[in-house]
Each structure stands twice: as C-alpha cells, then as structure tokens.
Amino acid sequence: MRKVTIDPITRLEGHGKIEVFLDDKGEVENVYFQVPELRGFERFCLGRPVEELARITTRICGVCPEAHHMASSKAADAVYNVEPPPTGKKIRELFYNTFMVTDHTTHFYILGGPDFVVGPDASPAERNILGVIGKVGAEVGLKVIGMRSHCHEVLKMMSGRSIHPVFSIPGGVSKGVTEEERKRIEEVAREAVEFGKFTLQVFDDIVLKNSHYVDLITSDAYAHKTYSMGLVDENNCTNFYDGKIRVVDPEGNEFAKFEAKDYRDHLEEHVEPYTYLKFPYLKNVGWKGLVDGMDSGVYKATPLSRCNAADKMATPVAQEAYERMYETLGGKPVHATLATHWARIVEICYAAERMLELVTDPDITKGTSDATKGLEKAMAKAYRTIPTEIPSEGVGVVEAPRGTLYHHYKTDSDGMVTDVNLIVGTTNNNAAIAMSLKKAAQGVIKGNGEITEGALNLVEMAFRAYDPCLACATHSLPGRMPLEVVVYDCDKKEINRKRRY
C-alpha cells in the first residue's frame, strides 16, 4: 500500500488536504478529502441577539459574506415572523444578484476558466488569469476587472461595506436606494447583461468550438449520477434569493420540493473522524457512503445542480443559454462535473438580467425618492417593517454561489439565540467533491507511482469545478491551483514527488 498526498496548494495548505492510497499494483485504492479546520460558529452564536447573527456569520467567509448576511437576515425575519415590505425585499435581491455576478465572474475568468481558455494541457505558468488575458486580449482582462470592481462599488453603496455587509436587518434593510444610486446601479446592471452575453460568446468560441474540450466535459471520468438541489420560484425557475428548495433524482424527476422551514425533513449530516467537515445527505434516501446513484443520499448543490433542479430560467438571455447547454450535452439532467462552468455562465446572465429588472422597478427607490427632510424616519417603512411579534424559530435559505445555504435559528421570547444550525454552500458538496477526486485520480494515476504534469491538472479540474470554499474560508483567489503529489512506498519512503504551479 502506498500513500499519495495531494496537497492542493499552497492555497489550501492548512485548509484542505487530499490523501490518495495506492494498492500494490499502483492503482488508486481510495481517496480521502480532508478539511483540517473548524471554527465552531454554531456554538458561539448561542446567546447572541438573533439580529446580530447577520453581522457575525458573515465572518464564516470573507469571500461570500453576502450569502451569509442574506440567509441570516432571512432566518431572523422568520424568527420574528416579519415580512419585509416589497421594496425591502427587492433591495436585498438586487444586492444579492449583484454579488452573484461578481462572484461567478471571479470563478469563471480567474479560477476555473484558465483550464479551458488557456487549455488543460497548457504550461502551468500560463494557466492563470494572465494566461487568459494573453489568449483573449488585454481588453477582455480590463472588462473582467472593470465588471468586478463596478459590482463591488454597488455592493458597498448598498450595504455599507465592500466586505462584510451590515444593512440587512429583521424586517428589511437599514438603508434605502436613492435615485442617484439607482442610476449608477442601472448602468452597472446594463454592463453586466452585456458582460454575460460576452462571456457566453467567449465560452462558445473557446470551449464549444473545440471538440476536445467538449469530449472532456462529457467524459465519464467527470460524471457522477447524484441528486441535484436548487432553489426555485413558483414557476420552477432558478432564484438565488427566495423560493422553495427542489431536489431532482439522478434521472431528473422531481424527488422533493420543500419550504426552507421544512429542511430537517429532508436533510441529515454524517460525521467522519478524519475530517472536520460533515457530509450532508438526503434523509429520505439515506447515507450509503461515498457512492452515487439513485440509492445514495449524496446530492450536489452547484450551479449545474440548480439548472438541473429547475425547469427553466426566468429571464430571456439566460433561458436561451440554458436551452443551448442542455441541447449540446444531450438533455436533462446533466451530470458532467465540468459542465458546472457552463451553468455558471448561464447564472451570470440570469443574475445580471434580474439585477436590471429590479433596478428599473419603480419600487426600488421607495422611501428615499419621495422622502423630504425630516420625514426620513416615517418613509423608511417602505423598505423596513418593524417586527412586533414574539420571536421563536426560523430558517433562512439562499443560493450561495457554491450551493444552497441554510441558516436555522431558535430563540427565546426576547430573540436571544438558543439553537443554531448551519449548512453552508460547499459543505453540501463534501461527499461529491471526495467522489469526484477519487474518480479523477483513478482515471489518471496508473502504476509505478508515475504522475504526469497533465494528470495533476486533470485531478485538480475535478476539484475546481465546485469552486470549493472550504470551511467557507479557503476560497482560492488569484487563479492558480498549485498542486503537489508525493508518492510513498509501504515504508513511507518518498519515491516520487511532482510539483506543478
């Protein structure tokens, strides 16, 4: 028996580890995906005022604090049994879709994109954002940087801060959108819609026109037939901010559709001693270990799963892209892990179109546009409702970029927290990530401990498609996924070491 340590970075060093065990023939016997970190948020949120959790749980992740801020304040709405007024809700959803545009853009161009744009076999030195710019031109690079920075400008304008927002409170938001702000947000939304179309074109030209890439996407080495989860609206269209959670089985048939408050009837979590991260699974199928198929409760919650779980997209550009994706890949559902990148672009289009719909909705500036000096307090009821009921329990769910995010709180009658349960985006996919790594490793690591450059990247690509954000803290930033593989013989003597950056 030999052990291969795939230490997927630098970037995850200290926050993620992959161990591969080889049998006597040098074939992959098993793969373990370890998350060596826990911070214990659920425990130390106890005793806090429930409205403060939207400002505490943001620190689970500095990359997607917007998702925790929204899920938390929705849970607090439910605890107080208060419904934000329409403008309050729309402001939150506008903010949230702006965040989805920037987060997905980062992943596609900087983290995941280089595999395709520059190519999985390209020199590692080129397989990064600079390589992408080299391939598609500096103009595109500037477009990407501009899109991200304009979205961040909007996030800060709306929520108070560019990292760790503070504006969402039980019953709505602390601050409305003025007409002046609205105009700027509309400009950015229009830019985002065009950017989405442009990104579809980039994907078309570089990936779809290359049959090698299409074969790679559809190859069995990158497929798992699992259940798919995603939030849908009343028409079964994907929605990031609100709706019901829908789960489809590996054949694409609806398996469950439930309200956030009923999530406990559908989800459970499994504990293993070798990792700090739990493994969620579908309760009504059961935990059968790290296997796929109809009888295993393993599910995925990713951009692709959201597409699988929905019937369609709610906006025209996204819908057209959605149809094209399924036509090209042979119909729904799609289980090809690498198609997650394509689904992510479909979602950029939806998020951008939804941004534009919301920012041009006359409701969006209510409470500010018609506010006169001295009447601001009275006008605030347009975007926030002051809770009046006795608090008790609530669940808030949004689609984080990396999967369905659940915040569940119970409080005493003063709104002080007595119970907290969190299931975060990447955690949903813990089992699926481990399975994808095993399958990819089995496909590329063969005999003698010989590991080629290309093989490393092929394993890595299986991991990267999930845009993993471990412990919601180990998110990768500037687009490189260095990898080191060490092969040991039975006596733990190093026999091969390969580094690739």
Partner 1 sequence: MAKLKLALYWAASCGGCEIAVLDIGEKILQVAENVDIVFWPCAMDFKYKDVEAMADQSIDLTLFNGAIRTSENEHIAKLLRQKSKIMVAYGSCACEGCIPALANQSCRQEIFDYAYNETPTTVNPERVRPQTSVKVKEGELTLPAFYDTVKNLEQVVKVDYFVPGCPPVEEQTWAVLETVLKGALPPAGAVVGAGTTALCEECPRERKEKKVKKFYRPWEIVPDPEQCLLDQGIICCGVVTRAGCGAQCPSANMPCRGCYGPPEGVIDQGAKLIAVLGSIIDSNDSEEIEKACRSVVDPLGTAYRFGLANSILRRSKLR
User: Which one, 215 or 414, has the nearer CB to partner 1?
Assistant: 414
CA-to-CA dists, residue 324 to 158, 329, 332, 467, angstroms:
35, 9, 11, 23
Query: Least CB distance from residue 371 to partner 1, whole Å?
Result: 9
Q: Residue 314, Cβ neighbours under 10 Å: how many? A: 18
User: Which one, 268 or 453, has the nearer CB to partner 1?
Assistant: 268
User: Which one, 274 or 495, has the nearer CB to partner 1?
Assistant: 274
375 binds partner 1 (CB under 8 A): no
* Distance from C-alpha of 497 to C-alpha of 486, rounded to nearest angstrom: 5
Contact residue for partner 1 among 207, 260, 397, 423 (CB under 8 A): 423
Near partner 1 in 468-497, by CB under 8 A:
472-478, 480, 482, 484
User: Which one, 196 or 479, has the nearer CB to partner 1?
Assistant: 479
Q: Tokens 């037939």 map to which residue? A: 225
User: Which one, 1 or 495, has the nearer CB to partner 1?
Assistant: 1
User: Which one, 161 or 212, has the nearer CB to partner 1?
Assistant: 161
Query: Least CB distance from residue 455 to partner 1, whole Å?
Result: 18
* Distance from C-alpha of 210 to C-alpha of 204, rounded to nearest angstrom: 9
Q: Which two tokens stand for residue 410?
A: 């119970």
Near partner 1 in 37-66, by CB under 8 A:
37-40, 42-44, 46-49, 51-52, 55-56, 58-63, 65
Which string of x and - marks every residue 160-189 that binds partner 1 (by CB under 8 A)?
xxxxx-xx-xxx--xx--------------
User: Which one, 161 or 209, has the nearer CB to partner 1?
Assistant: 161
326 binds partner 1 (CB under 8 A): no
* Cβ–Cβ < 8 Å for 487, 441: no
User: Which one, 314 or 481, has the nearer CB to partner 1?
Assistant: 481
Contact residue for partner 1 among 215, 389, 414, 491 (CB under 8 A): 414
* Distance from C-alpha of 359 to C-alpha of 251, rounded to nearest angstrom: 38
Near partner 1 in 247-306, by CB under 8 A:
263-264, 267-276, 278, 280, 287
**Element (DSSP H or E) covering residue 356:** helix 340-359
Near partner 1 in 394-413, by CB under 8 A:
408
Query: Least CB distance from residue 161 to partner 1, whole Å?
Result: 5
Dihedral sign for Cα atoms in the order 239, 242, 246, 247: positive
Q: Are β-strands 227-232 and 299-300 bridged in parallel, bridged antiparallel, or unpaired?
A: parallel
218 binds partner 1 (CB under 8 A): no
431 binds partner 1 (CB under 8 A): no
Using CB under 8 A as the binding criterion, the count of chain residues that bind partner 1 stands at 97
384 binds partner 1 (CB under 8 A): yes
Query: Which residues, other chains included, contact 134 with Cβ-Cβ below 8 Å and sequence gap of 6+?
Result: 118, 126
* Distance from C-alpha of 39 to C-alpha of 43, rounded to nearest angstrom: 9
CA 222 to chain centre: 19
CA 309 to chain centre: 15
Near partner 1 in 91-150, by CB under 8 A:
149
* Distance from C-alpha of 305 to C-alpha of 91, rounded to nearest angstrom: 26
* Distance from C-alpha of 41 to C-alpha of 62, rounded to nearest angstrom: 14
